[in-house]
Amino acid sequence: MVACARSPRGAAAGMSRVARDLLLSVVAWLPRPSLGQQPYPAHPIRLVVPFAPGGSLDTLARLVGRKLGERLGQPVIVENKPGAGTTIGAAEVAKASPDRYTLLLAPAPFVIAPLMYPGLPYDGARDFTGIALLASSPLVLTVNPAVVPAATAQELIALAKARPGVLTYASPGNGSVPHLATELFKLRTGTDLTHVPYKGAGPAVTDLLAGHVARSQRSGPSSPSCRPRTSIGSWSASACSGRRRSRRPARRSIEMAPR
Q: Determine phi and psi for 182, rounding to 5 degrees.
A: -70, -35
Q: Between 204 and 228, name the one with better pLDDT.
A: 204
Check pLDDT > 80 for residue 180: yes
**What's the whole-number mean pLDDT along residues 166-183?**
89
Of the pLDDT bands very low, low, confident and very high (cuts 50, 70, 90), residue 104 is very high
User: Is residue 101 a contact partner of residue 56, using CB atoms and an 8 Å limit?
Assistant: no
What is the predicted pLDDT for the residue at 94?
94
Of all residues in the chain, what percent carry a pLDDT higher than 70?
A: 69
Strands of the 45-49 sheet, one edge to the other: 76-80, 45-49, 102-105, 2-5, 128-132
pLDDT of 216 reads: 62
Q: What is the pLDDT of residue 36?
A: 55
Give, in order, the Cα–Cα distances in Å from 135 to each of 109, 171, 242: 15, 19, 14
Q: What are phi and psi of 170, to 5 degrees?
A: -100, 150
Rounded CA-CA distance 155/152 in Å is 5
Angle at which helices 87-94 and 109-116 pack, to 10 degrees? 100
Q: CB neighbours (10 Å) of residue 181?
A: 17
Question: What is the C-alpha to C-alpha distance for residues 132 and 128, in angstroms, rounded to an integer?
Answer: 12
pLDDT at position 127 is: 92
What's the whole-model pTM score?
0.71
AA letter at 137: S
pLDDT at 20 over 50: no
Q: Both ends of the chain: CA-CA distance in Å? A: 25
Name the residue with higher pLDDT: 164 or 6.
164
Q: Which residue has the higher pLDDT, 91 or 84?
A: 91
C-alpha radius of gyration, the chain, whole number? 20
Average per-residue pLDDT in the chain? Answer: 77
Whether the pLDDT of residue 250 is over 60: the answer is no
Q: Identify the weakest region by mean pLDDT among 14-18, 164-168, 204-208, 239-243.
A: 14-18
Q: pLDDT digits over 186-209, tens only?
A: 999 999 999 999 888 888 888 887
Query: For 131-153, what is each residue's pLDDT tens digit?
Result: 888 888 788 888 888 888 888 88
Alpha-carbon separation of residue 83 from 3, 68, 133, 134, 155 (angstroms): 18, 26, 23, 22, 33
